[in-house]
Amino acid sequence: MSQSKSSNIDTLEGAFKRLNEEPIAKDFFKDYYVKRAQSPIGSLKNDISNAGDVFQKHLFSGHRGSGKTTELYFLKTLLEQDDRFYVTFVAAIKDIKLSDIVYTDLLFILIVKALNLLEERNVKIKKNKRKQMEEDLMQLKGDLDKEEIREKKMGISLTAAAEWFQAFFTWDRTIRQRIRLTAEGLVDKVINNFNVIISSIEEASGKKLVIIVDDLEKVTDLDRMVDILIRHAYVIGRLNCHIVLTIPPSVRYSPELAQVQQTYGVAHFLPPFYVLDKKGRTQKDQVDLMVEIVRRRLSEKMISSDLLRNLAERSGGLVTDYTRMIKVSLNNMIQFQEECISDKSADVAFGDLVNDYSRITSPQYFPLLIEIYNKKDTTDHQNIQFRELLYNLMVLAYYTGGDEWYDLHPAVKEVLRRNKTINP
């Protein structure tokens, strides 16, 4: 670890800052990244690198909090080291309104990223193609502020076009809905224009475009997610670039996913750290990796390695729940006037997590939860309740040695114990 990162490693302020550090931070991978054997990023990178002239579309799946964002930024870093690619990143939760997203919204944000890249690289689009793009934008926007997207005699600029598409997500819902209705009739033209943009990038640089779209798994309406990525897979499939799209594990069990295998192929899955095996035995190597994630950020003066191991097991291998409990423990340490995080502070942090899960653990789920707890699987993977449990992180999917299996989140196990549904 660099001296700049370690110089304040013993301070609470520094601890919280490092625990909140995002993978876009400078030197993040040098200072903080812990490589995990179960990550499919190496395979995904190889698929893209060896695709030749085929533009591949990939689904990347994993539970919220399993570390997908970090792994996807690592993929971006790896691909940027290959001079055959330009790589751009979409943080959907920031760049799109996920609450009412439709498939044309996704198409718009992909266009924004492609246009921004053209602008950054000073790539030009031929006059007749720019004119066509302007006409399509005018048709999409109708009579609203035409001059905002028209340059005098010069046609549309890349910056103006990108700004228009980006602004779409800030407009009133009624306006966005009207534009969407128009966009549905223009999909073929918009796709053709998008591909013209991509061709301009390739002609100017000799590089293919890779777009990584993160956070789509945070779309709360599962049917909306299915509509965007599965029912309209043909739209994504026609775009002349490599695209990586995130989905929650629950969508992997959609009966419709098999119908679009020609578009996406196999969905790559990032499991949580399997800190416990099927029989509930601690997996030391996996726990050690989670401990290392925190050890790169906090000193032993704040929390012992034994307590870190304990919290790793209580997290079920979800990095977000793990770091959340540590941050709550740090606050408890201050409240209890402790010199370091104690068992008491950690227990309170886990208790807070249990309380959160208890609010969504309805008795209607108990029979299926008990089945999964006992069998580490279920007889019906397409059961809507099973998919809801996966989406809400109450059930976690693990992948070890070619075997995919399931277990309850430790906080959910505690909820069931308190309800005397399973043995202590």
Give tens-digit pLDDT for 289-341. 999 999 999 988 899 999 999 999 999 999 999 999 999 999 999 898 998 99
For residue 80, what pLDDT is reported?
A: 93
Whether the domain at 3-19+273-358 and the domain at 39-270 fall into the same CATH topology: no
Strands 208-214 and 268-270: unpaired
Vertex 94: Cα angle to 90 and 98 (nearest 5): 95
For residue 226, what pLDDT is reported?
A: 84
For residue 89, what pLDDT is reported?
A: 94
Residue carrying structure tokens 């001059």: 147
Alpha-carbon distance of 75 to 87, in angstroms, equals 10
For residue 43, what pLDDT is reported?
A: 93
Alpha-carbon distance of 395 to 369, in angstroms, equals 8
Contacts of residue 125, defined as CB under 8 A and 6 or more positions apart, other chains included, come to: 118, 133, 158, 196, 197, 200
Question: Does domain 39-270 correspond to CATH entry 3.40.50?
Answer: yes
Strands 57-62 and 268-270: parallel
Mean model confidence pLDDT for the chain: 87
For residue 267, what pLDDT is reported?
A: 85
For residue 155, what pLDDT is reported?
A: 55
Strands 395-400 and 403-408: antiparallel
Q: What's this model's pTM, rounded to 2 decimal places?
A: 0.89
Give the residue among 273, 288, 281, 311 at the shortest CA–CA distance from 400. Answer: 273
User: Which residues of the chain are under the pLDDT cut of 70?
Assistant: 1-10, 141-157
215 alpha carbon, distance to own chain's centre: 4
- Architecture label for domain 3-19+273-358: Orthogonal Bundle (1.10)
8 Å CB contact between 39 and 330: no
Using CA atoms, how far residue 403 sits from 38, 187, 271, 400, in Å, is 12, 41, 12, 5
The distance in angstroms from the start CA to the end CA of the chain is 42
For residue 140, what pLDDT is reported?
A: 75
8 Å CB contact between 105 and 71: no
- How do the domains of the chain map onto residue ranges? 3-19+273-358, 39-270, 363-418
Alpha-carbon distance of 128 to 197, in angstroms, equals 12
The H or E element spanning position 49 is helix 41-49
DSSP 8-state code for residue 259: G
**Both structure tokens of 256:** 């419709």
8 Å CB contact between 340 and 333: yes
DSSP 8-state code for residue 228: I
